[in-house]
Amino acid sequence: MQQKFERRKQHINTHAMHAFCPHVPTLNLYTPLDKSFAKVAQCSGFSRTKELKNSLHFLLLQKFCPSFPKESACDSIIIKEENKIFRFTTVFSLYFRTWHHLHLSVLCINPTGRRRGFKTSSNATARLQSQIESCSGWVRGWAHVPMLPLLLLLLLASHGHGPAAAAAQGLPPLPIGVNYGANADNLPSPAAVATFLATKTTVNRVKLFDANPAFLDAFAANAPSISIAVSIPNAALPSFADRATGLDAARGWVRDNLAAHVANGANVTLLLAGNEILGPVVVPDLVVALLPAMRRLNQALQLEKLPQVRVTTPHYLGILAPSDGIPSNARFRPGFDDKVLAPMLKFHNETGSPLMVNAYPYFSYNAQNLNYAIFRPNAGIYDPATKLNYTSMFDAQMDAIYTAMKKLGFGDVQIAVGEAGWPTQAEPGQVGVGPEEARDFNAGMIRVCSGGKGTPLMPGRTFETYIFSLFDENQKPGPIAERNFGIFNPDFTPKYDLGLLRDGSSASPNPSPNPSPKPSPNPSPSGGGKWCVAKASADATTLQNNINYACGFVDCKPIQSGGGCFDPNNVQSHASFVMNAYYQANGRHDDDCDFKGTGMVTSSDPSYGSCKYVS
């Protein structure tokens, strides 16, 4: 019995180790216990206490409340209850269903719905609960949900347990924004959409792809509490940038497209100056006009008495220079960094507006890194400079942006996510696409952006975020996936459960079509004569990092299972394809094919069979 108890205890402690130190190799059940505990203490930075040196519970307590006393008057109660639970519970049911009982025992709290008659001191309960509330800054918000079980549920959620599990344990739904595109012929009216979002869901922000007056009027009348981001077409920006007439043009646009709707109740809080001006397709005149246009629009909003509306512009992740996918190595692209993005970040800093990025791990994943892309358990990518392990591609992308901003001296500027999502349907045979994958990605993103989890370099932060998208858009051109990013059906039933419906809500409005097209995706680049391929001497780890990075900016479906470039299924071939796609999309500059010395430019077309390299 004692040996079984010790093995179970070690099993749980190894889970603790990976909760705090995911880069440390897994210790199996036959690793000596002292080695396991030493590893936990060494990589977590938590000191082992006199009586609880082997306790997972104490590690968790210290994680959330570092100032908590290192020894407690109820140590003996903790050990007693710990022994009871280990003896009465199997390892897996302990891990998945009764951790909250363990950690209530740590706090000497009498758990609701307790098993086996665990009892603790009510005086100790009050005293310790008060201490934890004081040191953590978290207050109990639900009458029957003590605080540490809630923290444990959040920790479990960070390891890939979806919102359904969180909801089952009593976690509150989290607010989030959505992209509301209407390039479809089967969607409900804007008024029905606004009413549904405001009364039935926790969605608190909507991003529009234009300034459609029907949409603005619908939200003014039916959902004045929902914040709205309004988009200006790219082609309008040069008229606002003109030194002589730009301010008048900007004021005219604001008066014609925003002022009356805001006066009627539309809660417009963001004005988006174009979309992805800095790539993947770069039009030099628009790049030059972008920041001056943003400044004129901000001036116009002040003069038209709309100071609550902030100005920003969505960027694709290609504003980052090629790197190995390690966040600490990230920087903005040469030419854009000092001349465009540094002054733009200064504008954001001065006006309190966020830098907005469109983050799409979907365009970076393959069969090998799927779990990393959709917040499922995985070994992760270790950043030796920061000693942080990334088990989420989305986290790595966000921290790469943060690192690049910080290198320019603007680490305090807020980051907003303009688009991020995962489709429920794609090309036949494509792995990693479906309702479960979409749910896991979007649920993980909501935890990071709205749940206060933050990222490894930005812990505890929240990010203004817009899921792509509210509905499927059956009239959009391009691959099947482009038409299948929606999280709700046209009858307002969820395509999968993200926990966004309010308690007791049901969806039953009658849909009525009212399409409003989103601009078409950027065209693929074209050219000729030069391609980028991986060097034969490049090592597989670096090439895989190249794939992870480049696929954040280009379409990598051809190298996925069933794609025209999937075979030969090896990292050398796949890396060459995506490195070339990245090189072509960014203007075929030699620097875009460097990839830390692992790429080279060739004049020989590497296309073969059905695999056609972009040129």
DSSP character string of 558-577: GGSTTSTT--S-SHHHHHHH
Regarding whether 577 and 456 lie in a shared domain, the answer is: no
Determine, yes or no, domain membership for 54. Answer: no
253 found inside a domain: yes
Look up 276 and say whether it is catalytic. Answer: yes
Q: Which DSSP string corresponds to 95-130? A: HHH-HHHHHHHHTT---TT-STT----HHHHHHHHH
CB 48 within 8 A of CB 37: yes
Residue at which a domain ends, from 488, 517, 550? 488
Residue 562 and residue 482 share a domain: no
pLDDT confidence of 567, banded at 50, 70, 90? confident
Cα(147)–Cα(378) distance, integer angstroms:
28
Q: Domain boundary at 488, 510, 543, which? A: 488
Is the pLDDT at 450 greater than 90, yes or no? yes
Instruction: Judge whether 460 lies within some domain.
Output: yes
535 and 411 in a common domain: no
* In 214-325, beta strands by DSSP E: 227-232, 268-273, 310-312, 314-316
Options 276, 437, 464, 473, the catalytic residue: 276
Q: Which domain holds residue 375?
A: 176-488
Q: Choosing from 304, 419, 437, 473, which is the catalytic residue? A: 419
Same domain, 445 and 593: no
Same domain, 406 and 322: yes
Do 589 and 479 share a structural domain? no
Q: Is residue 277 part of a domain?
A: yes
Q: What is the mean pLDDT of residues 589-607?
A: 88
Prediction pTM value: 0.61
Query: Do 460 and 535 have their domain in common?
Result: no
Answer yes or no: is 321 within a domain. Answer: yes
pLDDT of residue 266: 97
**Within this chain, do residues 542 and 441 fall inside the same structural domain, yes or no?**
no
CB 284 within 8 A of CB 366: no
CATH of the domain at 412: 3.20.20.80
In contact, 271 and 301? CB cutoff 8 Å: yes
Are 398 and 547 contained in the same domain?
no
Nearest Cα to Cα of residue 193 among 229, 161, 219: 219
**Domain tally, the chain:** 2
**Do 186 and 266 belong together in one domain?**
yes
Per-residue pLDDT for 59 more than 70? no
Residues 341 and 436 in one domain: yes
Instruction: Establish if 555 belongs to a structural domain.
Output: yes
Q: How confident is the model at residue 466 (pLDDT cuts 50, 70, 90)?
A: very high
Active site residue 6: no
| 482 shares a domain with 560 | no
Asked if the model's pLDDT at residue 305 lies above 90, the reply is yes
347 occurs within a structural domain:
yes
The pLDDT confidence band at residue 24, using thresholds 50, 70 and 90, is: very low
Question: DSSP letters of 368-420?
Answer: TTHHHHTT-----EEETTTTEEE--HHHHHHHHHHHHHHHTT-TTS-EEEEEE
Using only C-alpha atoms, the chain has a radius of gyration, in whole angstroms, of 26
Among 119-123, 331-335, 357-361, 477-481, name the one with the lowest average pLDDT.
119-123
